[in-house]
């Protein structure tokens, strides 16, 4: 009973990790029950006979967790069976023309040649990634049909029934996989990439607190818990095989949601590769947190401000990239993403200036080596963050992420956000003056005189230079510059 209880607990754990696994099990059972009816119902059995077994075998080997994997295997199996069946019939026909003595020799030669060539082709990287299963079925089907045909007169009937049952089993798998709680490999890859961004972002944003915190401060349990959370970045280091498999499956999938048939899955892999490079630097950086050789806190404090900014801004940049991916939008999130990259680069310049000032001249050599290594790793991460930013932007453009709609003129207040409306008024020197008014406040415009009641407006003084750039000075004294006019009115 104890063993049964252990199996039950393990089953619950697996189901809770991903409830889709339970649904997938029911889907496989449904597909097998459907194709098994070829045996149970006498009219169907009379038509297919023992060959109905191939439909059951097709369901067992073809039905995969995701739609892309199922569709890829189904197409591979159907095409391989069709081509191998045709070639097998042709080989049998050619061999039969040579007479009963030469026929077995020719069939053996045909089987040897196709098996050797097909097996060699399986080593090609691109073929192995997408068509390995199809070639395996090709070898099996050709051999079975050609060898069986040597002892059976009804070779065409055998090939026809084999192909029919395989197609029925494959179509059953594909239809059930697509129309009953589908699991899309493309969506899983998209979510995995966003999750990896979140994971690295968490480490970079928490690195400053962990690195510059004294080891004897704070609750020991809390410190250990935070350090365990920082270890989550290791998931990114081991995600390459999963990402490549999902991208391969996603290429087979039809259009669904915002994922087109020729979605740029290769660009997802390019972004994922950059994230892994960043994760390797983070892994090295993490070793200095858990190292037995600790730099004194007073030495770390000398470079604390720029190092904190570098890690924090890089983490925020990763977070914005994650938000952009999740929402599949590329305007405001990307702009903020770039701002964080620029801020982290600015922190790098400040750090360089600080180092040139000789602030570490009185530091012991071993401490200096460890500290400068940490600095070097953070600089590498900042540079990689810039590459990630460009790669995400390329992905957003290639995948045609939607642009987030932005209002022409916006206003921010400390307590609340209000919607504003631009009211252009033509001045005497043919320049345009714009007054920003809150939508929820009443205002009137006297069109005959071109005047406006601005009692309820957010007052803006606009200065127009000769280079057509507009400078706005708000009541709070903040200057806002626009490189072009809102419009012209004649």
The DSSP call for residue 399 is T
**Which pLDDT score, from 0 to 100, does residue 41 have?**
66
- Report the C-alpha gap between 474 and 467 in whole angstroms: 21
- Report the C-alpha gap between 38 and 58 in whole angstroms: 13
**Which pLDDT score, from 0 to 100, does residue 287 have?**
83
pLDDT by 10-residue block (mean), the chain, 490 residues:
86 91 95 81 63 85 94 93 88 84 89 95 92 94 77 68 84 93 95 94 86 60 70 90 94 89 92 94 85 76 84 89 86 57 74 74 80 87 89 89 56 40 44 43 40 39 40 43 36
**Which pLDDT score, from 0 to 100, does residue 335 have?**
57
CA neighbor of 320 nearest in space, from 343, 342, 306, 338: 338
- Write out pLDDT tens, residues 228-260: 777 888 999 999 999 999 999 999 999 988 898
- Report the C-alpha gap between 342 and 350 in whole angstroms: 12
- Report the C-alpha gap between 147 and 92 in whole angstroms: 8
CA neighbor of 73 nearest in space, from 178, 164, 144, 174: 174
Q: Give Cα separations from 199 to 18, 44, 166, 261 (angstroms).
A: 19, 54, 43, 29
**Which residues fall within 8 angstroms of residue 235, CB to CB, at 6 or more apart?**
196, 199
Is 385 in contact with 318 (CB distance < 8 Å)? yes
- Report the C-alpha gap between 41 and 54 in whole angstroms: 16
Is 263 in contact with 186 (CB distance < 8 Å)? yes
Backbone angles phi, psi at 100, to 5 degrees: -65, -25
391's enclosing H/E stretch is helix 365-398
Positive/negative CA dihedral, 162, 163, 165, 169: positive
Q: How wide is the angle at C-alpha 485 spanned by C-alphas 483 and 486, nearest 5°?
A: 125
End-to-end CA distance of the chain: 89
What is the model's pTM? 0.75
**Which pLDDT score, from 0 to 100, does residue 421 have?**
44
- Report the C-alpha gap between 174 and 71 in whole angstroms: 6
Backbone angles phi, psi at 101, to 5 degrees: -80, -45
480 bridge partner residues: 472
- Report the C-alpha gap between 160 and 85 in whole angstroms: 8
- Report the C-alpha gap between 76 and 64 in whole angstroms: 13
């Amino acid at each position: 009973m104890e063993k049964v209880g252990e199996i039950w607990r393990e089953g619950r754990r697996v189901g809770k990790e991903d409830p889709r696994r339970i649904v997938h099990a029911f889907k496989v059972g449904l597909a097998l029950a459907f194709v098994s009816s070829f045996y149970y119902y006498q009219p169907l059995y009379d038509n297919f006979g023992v060959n109905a077994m191939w439909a059951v075998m097709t369901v067992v080997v073809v039905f995969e967790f995701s739609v892309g994997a199922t569709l890829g295997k189904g197409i591979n199996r159907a095409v391989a069976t069709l081509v191998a069946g045709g070639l097998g019939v042709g080989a049998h026909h050619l061999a039969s023309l040579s007479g009963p003595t030469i026929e077995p020799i020719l069939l053996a030669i045909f089987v040897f040649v196709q098996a050797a060539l097909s097996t060699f082709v399986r080593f090609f990287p691109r073929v192995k990634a997408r068509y390995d299963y199809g070639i395996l079925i090709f070898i099996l089907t050709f051999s079975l049909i050609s060898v069986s045909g040597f002892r059976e007169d009804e070779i065409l009937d055998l090939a026809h029934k084999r192909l029919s049952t395989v197609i029925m089993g494959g179509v059953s798998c594909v239809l059930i996989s697509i129309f009953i709680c589908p699991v899309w490999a493309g969506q899983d890859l998209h979510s995995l990439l966003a999750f990896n961004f979140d994971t690295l972002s968490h480490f970079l944003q928490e690195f400053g607190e962990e690195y510059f915190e004294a080891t004897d401060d704070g609750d020991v349990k809390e410190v250990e818990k935070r350090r365990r959370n920082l270890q989550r970045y290791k998931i990114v280091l081991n995600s390459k095989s999963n990402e490549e498999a999902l991208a391969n499956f996603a290429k087979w999938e039809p259009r669904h949601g915002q994922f087109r048939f020729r979605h740029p899955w290769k660009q997802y892999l390019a972004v994922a590769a950059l994230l892994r490079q960043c994760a390797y630097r983070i892994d090295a950086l993490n070793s200095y947190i858990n190292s037995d050789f600790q730099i004194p806190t007073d030495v770390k404090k000398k470079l604390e401000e720029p190092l904190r900014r570098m890690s924090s801004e890089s983490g925020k940049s990763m977070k914005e990239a994650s938000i952009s991916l999740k929402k599949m939008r590329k305007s405001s999130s990307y702009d903020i993403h770039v701002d964080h990259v620029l801020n982290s680069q600015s922190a790098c310049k400040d750090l360089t200036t600080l180092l040139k000032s000789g602030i570490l001249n009185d530091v012991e050599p071993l401490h200096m080596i460890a500290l400068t290594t940490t600095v070097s790793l953070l600089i590498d991460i900042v540079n990689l963050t810039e590459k990630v930013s460009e790669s995400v932007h390329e992905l957003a453009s290639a995948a045609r992420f939607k642009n987030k709609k932005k209002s022409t003129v916006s206003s921010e207040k400390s307590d609340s956000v209000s919607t504003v409306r631009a009211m252009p008024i033509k001045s005497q020197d043919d320049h345009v003056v714009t007054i920003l008014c809150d939508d929820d406040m009443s205002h009137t415009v006297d069109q005959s005189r071109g005047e406006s009641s601005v009692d309820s407006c957010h007052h803006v003084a606009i200065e127009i230079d000769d280079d057509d750039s507009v400078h706005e000075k708000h009541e709070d004294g903040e200057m806002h510059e626009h490189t072009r006019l809102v419009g012209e009115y004649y």
